[in-house]
Amino acid sequence: MNRTMALNHRRTNILELIKKNGFAKVQTLSKTFEVTEVTIRQDLEFLEKEGYVHREHGGAYIDKDNMTKGQLKLLNEANLEKKKEIAQKAVYFIQEGDSIILDSGSTTTELAKLLKNFRQLTVITNSLSVAMILVDNPNIDLIMTGGELKAQSMSLTGELAAESFKNIHVNKLFLATAGISSTLKLTYPTLSDLVVKSAMIKSADAIYLLADSSKLGSSAFANLGPASLIQTLITDSDISGEFALELKNAGIQIV
């Protein structure tokens, strides 16, 4: 991967992280993306000039109220075609009569859009966006977790969300991630995410991770554990051969 492409991917991931959490510190971003604080400040300066973020107090936040429609569209559609490609692959693993968990995330939201015509399906989710897509289908038994609302991602998180999975067993989990690190760790923006993801994994027979190629080799703040916690990675066609080989050597199937 050339340096320009990697830089674009990092900035896209920085935007997604800030969008999800509302604010991010330079120090945290430096550790997350394994680059210097000087590099992160340059990234944030570029994103501020483009009108995506505002810098303050050693970090940056997104001011959606002052964004143009075009900027909002680009922010919300980052890697959208890749996410749709992944969703199309993922839906083939779902059969009528399945019970599934749909994690909160932009790619799992694209997957939810493909489930509206199912006639017998049970879906458990911590995503308000997923729930709003599926709520009009009377043939889908829709269960929402409890938990603390993260407004930026429209998701429910924390101990209460994790408790919702305590007595649940499902066929399949479709999990999201902020990034798979270069050392093959599953990472997430906040510590409160970890308890929920862990509970989801314990509740499912089969675990599918949905992640576009920009998230491969990228790290976020909190480490859930080794990528071998999942069985299958569903990604797009831009995954590098070297990273794919590392994942396969770890026993992970790639679709």
* pLDDT tens, position by position, 110-137: 999 999 889 999 999 999 999 999 999 9
Domain residue spans of the chain? 3-76, 80-254
**pLDDT higher for 107 or 32?**
107
Dihedral in degrees, nearest 10, Cα atoms 175, 176, 181, 186: -40
Q: What's the confidence (pLDDT) of residue 21?
A: 66
Nearest in space to 126 (alpha carbons), one of 141, 138, 143, 139: 143
pLDDT at 142 over 80: yes
Average pLDDT over residues 134-161: 91
Query: Residue type for 87, please?
Result: A
Q: How confident is the model at residue 243 (pLDDT cuts 50, 70, 90)?
A: very high
Q: What's the confidence (pLDDT) of residue 141?
A: 96
Q: What's the confidence (pLDDT) of residue 77?
A: 59
In three-state secondary structure terms, 200 is helix
Task: Say if CB 189 and CB 178 are below 8 A apart.
Answer: yes
Tokens of 63: 């001011």
**92-113: pLDDT as tens digits:** 999 999 999 999 998 999 999 9
Q: Which residues of 198-218 are buried (b: 16+ CB within 10 A; e: fewer)?
A: ebbbebbeebbbbbbbbbbbb
**pLDDT higher for 15 or 72?**
15
Q: Which residues of 107-126 are buried (b: 16+ CB within 10 A; e: fewer)?
A: bbbbbbebbeebeebbbbbb
Q: How confident is the model at residue 72 (pLDDT cuts 50, 70, 90)?
A: low
Q: Which CATH class, in words, describes the domain spanning 80-254?
A: alpha beta
Q: What's the confidence (pLDDT) of residue 158?
A: 92
In three-state secondary structure terms, 252 is coil
Q: How far apart are the first and last CA of the chain?
A: 20
Task: Say if CB 103 and CB 173 are below 8 A apart.
Answer: yes
Q: What's the confidence (pLDDT) of residue 5?
A: 41
3-76, CATH topology level: Arc Repressor Mutant, subunit A (1.10.10)
Taking the model in full, what pTM does it have?
Answer: 0.75
Residues facing 145 on adjacent strands: none
**pLDDT higher for 148 or 5?**
148
In three-state secondary structure terms, 176 is coil
Length of the chain measured in residues = 255
Tokens of 73: 């569209």
